[in-house]
């Protein structure tokens, strides 16, 4: 069972990264953040990333400088592309978005107005897309039990969340 969980996590990270990379080109995103379960993020300037490899146990970020940063899957809660700078300056992020499933619906809450909420399956197929233009959104879920990906666009950037649906 653990091997299946690791493969699913690796697949979902690959899909998220590919989808977010496509979206970032259209929105001029500057950084990839790798967030740990405790909420702490590690930023990587996109210009400095040579490649990213997903092994059986970890995600490896190869930088143009030749260094490699390894993130075991257990230490990766989410990936996010975000504009901004790093260092002593404040970086606005979309990390305050909350997404959860309850009673057959998906609920999304944001501290700033959301422009789009997308729901994907793990194969990368877009299942639903709404433009709430508000701080909250509710999507009725007509999907089977499983793991889904929620992508939220707001003024602070893009956030991606993994949601487990149980019936």
Exposed (0-12), middle (13-18) or buried (19+): which is 39, by Cβ within 10 Å?
A: exposed
Q: Contact 97/152 with Cβ under 8 angstroms?
A: yes
* CATH annotation of 2-82: 2.30.30.100
Give all strands (DSSP E) within the chain, no chain letters. Answer: 31-35, 41-45, 49-54, 58-63, 68-72, 78-82, 98-102, 105-109, 114-121, 126-130, 136-140, 146-154, 157-165
What is the reported pTM? 0.47
- Name the CATH topology of 98-165: Immunoglobulin-like (2.60.40)
Greatest CA separation for the chain: 48
Domain layout of the chain by residue ranges = 2-82, 98-165
pLDDT tens track for 102-156: 877 888 998 888 999 988 888 888 888 999 988 999 988 887 888 888 888 888 7
């Amino acid at each position: 069972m653990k091997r299946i969980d690791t493969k699913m996590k690796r697949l979902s990270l690959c899909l998220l990264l590919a989808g977010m990379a496509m979206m970032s080109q259209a929105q001029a995103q500057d950084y990839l953040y790798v967030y740990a379960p405790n909420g702490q993020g590690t930023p990587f300037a996109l210009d400095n990333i040579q490649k990213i490899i997903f092994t059986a146990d970890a995600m490896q970020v190869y930088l143009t400088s030749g260094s490699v940063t390894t993130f075991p899957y257990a230490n990766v809660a989410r990936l996010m592309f975000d504009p901004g700078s790093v260092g002593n300056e404040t970086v606005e992020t979309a990390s305050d978005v909350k997404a959860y499933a309850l009673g057959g619906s998906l609920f999304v809450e944001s501290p700033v107005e959301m422009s789009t909420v997308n729901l994907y399956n793990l194969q990368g197929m877009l299942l639903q897309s709404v433009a709430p233009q508000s701080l909250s959104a509710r999507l009725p879920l007509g999907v089977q039990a499983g793991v889904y990906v929620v992508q939220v666009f707001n003024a602070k950037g893009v956030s991606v969340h993994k949601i487990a649906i149980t019936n």
